[in-house]
Structure 1
Amino acid sequence: MTNMLLPTLLSLLVVSQTHGFNPCNDTDGQAKKTDDLYLCYNKTSFTSTVWIPFNSFYVGGYKAEAWKGYDWYLSSSDGNNPGWDTVFTYTGNDWIPYKEDKLQGSAKNLSKQLDLTQANDHLILNFNTESNPLLEKHQVHRKEPTWFQQLKKSSTLSGTLAGDSSCYHLTLFIYKSGKDPHHFLSICNNITKEVNTSTSPSSTDTTPVLTKGPLSTTMTAVMIVGPKLKSDDWFRITTGITGHTNNWLLLAEQAAQDASDDCMVCLGPRPILRVVPAPIGEDCLTAVMNCTNIGNSNCTKWDRIFSITKQEKRKPIFSRDVTPTNHTCINMTGPGERLGSLNASSCLTSTEVDPSFKPESRADVWWWCGDPQLYDRLPGNWTGVTVAARPSHQTLSH
């Protein structure tokens, strides 16, 4: 009895994943959850990058992270008999997949549309279908097995199986000696009559083109970015570090964005940011911070070092251990509320300003007013004492 039930149970687990089940368009809400990886596209031409953590899915009975050190490849066929002429992308460099003219079926186009790479903790799918769009109706040429034809008649999955849906059913393999373990990956059409499939900016920017399969339990940790990746996206994908949570990286990104030359930065262990005085002297501070065109020729060098930048929503978090009595201060008496708790005792020098002082945002220069907060710009009509400061990298030693 057990031997007879096991193949049936396994079939029920993979039927929806391997032969035409479309999780993007569950019209009657009856579709069951699946452990397989699904992506849904609502336009045929797009560029996107998909990050799939190794700890989010299983291969060969183990979490994918257990297969670290192995390379991966994608096949346009099923997991039973893929054939090397269906393999169109490979993460290793010890061999390369066949050229397009030797590939079979959809692998020919997929070799130009999809690329697979890997990092330490995840797989990366790079989609670029702008020159070779995906099909709105992908034709599956495999014959449906008898057990699948019978299951299609089930009312539980009514309206969600192949026939009305269209998916690219791929197989993700680990390259190893012996039989290669695999996991299914589907890319399904979610285009409706209401969706414009053109690639005009108005249609591309409003809704995500590529989305997670909503019925897949393994897609919750998957990240999709694009079409144009920012540098912080690449840091997040390749290292797990982002400027949203790492202050040192945030400062490095800001400096790189405003630099006129290429640069290289090195990330130290567990950096702690401390507020130190900005190097701009009292004679240049107001001229540099309050003007976009600096009239004083003796101060123009600071315009190149601390260039004008956009207002920054992400403010660095820093240590409250601030060096006292060494700052060049700005003292303003305005009609508004007092900003911060700083007083003249923390100032090496102090310059009186009036409400016309409205400093611009400059890269790597912040305003500190005594509280555990930094400002890249100051509010209007404020009152108080503030200093031009820079969060500095300091590594603790024990």
Structure 2
Amino acid sequence: MLTTKGKRLVWLGIVILIIATMIIWLLGNKNNISKKTKRVDGSLDGSGTIIYHNDPKHPCSTQYKQAEWEPQRWLCYNTTNILKTVVMPGTAFETKYRQQNPTQWIGYDFYLDAHSRNTRDSWWGDTFITTSQTWKPSSYGWTQLAKQWKKIITGVAVDNTKVQFTINSTAMPLNKKKCAHIRICAWATGTDPCWELGLCPNITANNGTELSNKTGGTIKPVERPGKNSKIQIIDPDSPVDDWFKITTGVSRIDNNWLLMVEQAAKASGADCVVCMGARPLLQVVPSALGLDCLVDVMNKTIPSENCSSWDKIYPLTTAEKQKPLFSKKVAVGNFTCINRTGAGVRLGKLNDTQCYSVETVNMAFKPKARSDIWWWCGDDRLFDRLPYNTTGFCASVSLILPVSITPLTVTDLLTTVNVVYPHTWKSRPKRSVMTGDPTYIDSIGIPRGVPDEYKLINQVAAGFESSLCWWCTINKNVDRINYIHYNVQRLGNKTEEGFSAIHEQLSATSPYGFPKPYCCRYASSRKRRSLLYFW
């Protein structure tokens, strides 16, 4: 048996052993607890310059044949001053024996670091750019090597289909003879998955001589046997439509929605945000032509001197055989109308209550067809010329595209709008599908609350009937009949509303998976324009 003193000595020895173990562990990992943890990928170069390598076979030479299992993807440049955007599909990183690519790691933060093929370990000092918005700048990229690479590669983005980044070596030219290696990695639990990328001078295109420092060079990806995905090289000053084609796969050539958005943005002539729903229909609005010149301009080829200015705004045109489609939901507006009198057939169902001002004319009024002005008579038809021998009220209208344009620069978009990053988005409240039901069941089980205008049977009349001929009608049944009748009507109305909503949704989303109702943000700058969109 141990004495009390002996037990104390045993416990003291255990405590000393634990403390010694912790000290040994801390000394062995003192380098790992500063900044971020050490990675089992890459290396830190002590020279302070960008690493270039002499490869046994130059990737840009005609003799080079890349094996299917090689993980590197090579990009060959023909000048040292490059300004290009590289778009690489996720499958471009896959090899015969590694069917894994960065797009499969969406949800993780990605980073790029300078990579040496001569060593295995890498520090966060080599990391020069990341897609994370929460990493502190002081926690990575403190080496001279990383600072230099940060000037060359910018704008890194990874989504479900591609990896995109911009190479700008105008401030720090690339090497004229040797290749450089970088890697894109996902910051995951355990060992980070990485994919290698090499930049090499295209000695074949330059006949084996040193590359020049001239600007305007190009980049050519080296093809790899087996599974190969097309890598796209884009000029940063390319048209907006080219950028949109690269980022979304949709072009205005095959998408009228995008064409209309681009036209609306260009018409504004300034930095702006353009919002438009899917498959929009033209809206009917009052024309700018006032009543004082309406008959004169529309009924004559050459208007009078007082109204001649309208001839340039609404020039004469030929009659259109196929009229444009427009929304039947016309808001009550201050329409300028004509009331064509006579013994002919009445056109539409427009009346004077929808007109701000009315001019009465007879059958001698035969309007000419003019650009951007139509006659609307209250139904689902538009006329550029009124049919012969017709009467009734018709309004002069124009058609506009339901698009919202808000002046907003790129800087304002990134600094003042609180929806740049998804984690700042606020959830929208759910919409109620059903409206309030006024009916209820009282304490004795009789339905109550049916509005009088929806009752099938009058309760007062049924009360007299039940008092005189109680075996014919029981008054309680009247309430039940009205309750059932009212709910059948509500069910019919809700069914119609439901199918109408389904029709609107499917008609907007069926042609493409892309043109769902969303807001397209069109932000322009002096050198180029870019489209940012929300699903």
TM bucket normalised to smaller: 0.5 to 0.7
Q: Deviations over 1:281-328 (max 9, x none)?
A: 8959xx9xxxxxxx964466689xxxxxxxxxxxxxxxx99559xxxx
Q: Which of 183, 191, 211 is the matching residue for 1:179?
A: 191
Q: Which of 89, 110, 116 is the matching residue for 2:129?
A: 89
Q: Deviations over 1:60-97 (max 9, x none)?
A: 75343321111111111247312212111111122145
Structure 2 contact 89–163 (Cα < 8 Å) conserved: yes
Structure 1 contact 24–214 (Cα < 8 Å) conserved: no
Equivalence map 1:96-107=2 (5 Å): 96=136, 102-105=142-145, 107=146
Cα distance in 2 for partners of 1:210, 1:57 equals: 18
**What secondary structure is seen at the aligned counterpart in 2 of 1:73?**
strand
Question: What root-mean-square deviation, in Å, do the aligned CA atoms of Structure 1 and Structure 2 show?
Answer: 4.5
Q: 1:181 to 1:32 in 2, by over 3 A?
A: closer
Tell me the equivalent position of 1:118: 157
**Deviation at 1:275?**
12
User: Is 2:110 the partner of 1:72?
Assistant: yes
Cα distance in 2 for partners of 1:212, 1:256 equals: 34
In structure 1, give the amino acid aligned to 2:212.
T
Cα distance in 1 for partners of 2:226, 2:74 equals: 10
In structure 1, give the amino acid aligned to 2:182.
L
Tell me the equivalent position of 2:148: 109
Cα distance in 1 for partners of 2:239, 2:228 equals: 23
**Deviation at 1:44?**
0.8
Q: 1:244 to 1:349 in 2, by over 3 A?
A: same
**Deviation at 1:185?**
0.8
**What secondary structure is seen at the aligned counterpart in 2 of 1:134?**
coil
Unaligned runs of 5+ in 1: 1-17, 138-165, 288-294, 304-319, 325-346, 352-358, 365-388
Tell me the equivalent position of 2:75: 39
Equivalence map 1:106-255=2 (5 Å): 107-121=146-160, 122-137=162-177, 166-191=178-203, 192-193=206-207, 197-199=212-214, 204=216, 209-215=218-224, 220-255=229-264
Tell me the equivalent position of 1:141: none
Q: Which of 57, 62, 84 is the matching residue for 1:48?
A: 84
Structure 2 contact 94–101 (Cα < 8 Å) conserved: yes
Structure 1 contact 168–188 (Cα < 8 Å) conserved: yes
In structure 2, give the amino acid aligned to 1:64.
P
Structure 1 window deviating more from structure 2 (83-92 vs 236-245): it is 236-245
Cα distance in 2 for partners of 1:96, 1:113 equals: 20
In structure 1, give the amino acid aligned to 2:89.
P
Q: 1:131 to 1:217 in 2, by over 3 A?
A: farther
Cα distance in 2 for partners of 1:63, 1:111 equals: 23
Cα distance in 2 for partners of 1:23, 1:190 equals: 8
**What secondary structure is seen at the aligned counterpart in 2 of 1:253?**
helix
Structure number with the higher helix fraction is 2
In structure 2, give the amino acid aligned to 1:67.
W
Q: 1:321 to 1:184 in 2, by over 3 A?
A: farther
**Deviation at 1:98?**
5.5
Q: 1:19 to 1:45 in 2, by over 3 A?
A: closer
**Deviation at 1:135?**
1.4
Q: Deviations over 1:233-270 (max 9, x none)?
A: 3323443332232211112112322323333222534x
User: Is 2:265 the partner of 1:256?
Assistant: yes
Tell me the equivalent position of 2:58: 22
Q: 1:323 to 1:97 in 2, by over 3 A?
A: closer
Q: Deviations over 1:10-45 (max 9, x none)?
A: xxxxxxxx973533222x365545453221111111
Equivalence map 1:319-330=2 (5 Å): 322-323=324-325
Q: 1:217 to 1:195 in 2, by over 3 A?
A: farther
Cα distance in 2 for partners of 1:119, 1:321 equals: 45
Q: 1:253 to 1:392 in 2, by over 3 A?
A: same
**Deviation at 1:216?**
6.4
Cα distance in 1 for partners of 2:140, 2:258 equals: 41
Cα distance in 2 for partners of 1:78, 1:111 equals: 17
In structure 2, give the amino acid aligned to 1:114.
I
Q: Deviations over 1:337-393 (max 9, x none)?
A: xxxxxxxxxx98447xxxxxxx9xxxx9xxxxxxxxxxxxxxxxxxxxxxxx98967
Cα distance in 2 for partners of 1:131, 1:183 equals: 26
Q: 1:46 to 1:136 in 2, by over 3 A?
A: same
Tell me the equivalent position of 2:527: none
Structure 1 contact 212–219 (Cα < 8 Å) conserved: no
Q: Deviations over 1:92-138 (max 9, x none)?
A: 12214559993154x3421111125225332211111111111112x
In structure 1, give the amino acid aligned to 2:75.
L
**What secondary structure is seen at the aligned counterpart in 2 of 1:264?**
strand
Structure 1 contact 76–86 (Cα < 8 Å) conserved: yes
Structure 1 contact 169–186 (Cα < 8 Å) conserved: yes
Tell me the equivalent position of 1:344: none
Cα distance in 2 for partners of 1:183, 1:302 equals: 61
Tell me the equivalent position of 2:476: none
In the alignment of these two chains, the number of paired residues is: 263
**What secondary structure is seen at the aligned counterpart in 1 of 2:257?**
helix
Q: 1:298 to 1:221 in 2, by over 3 A?
A: same
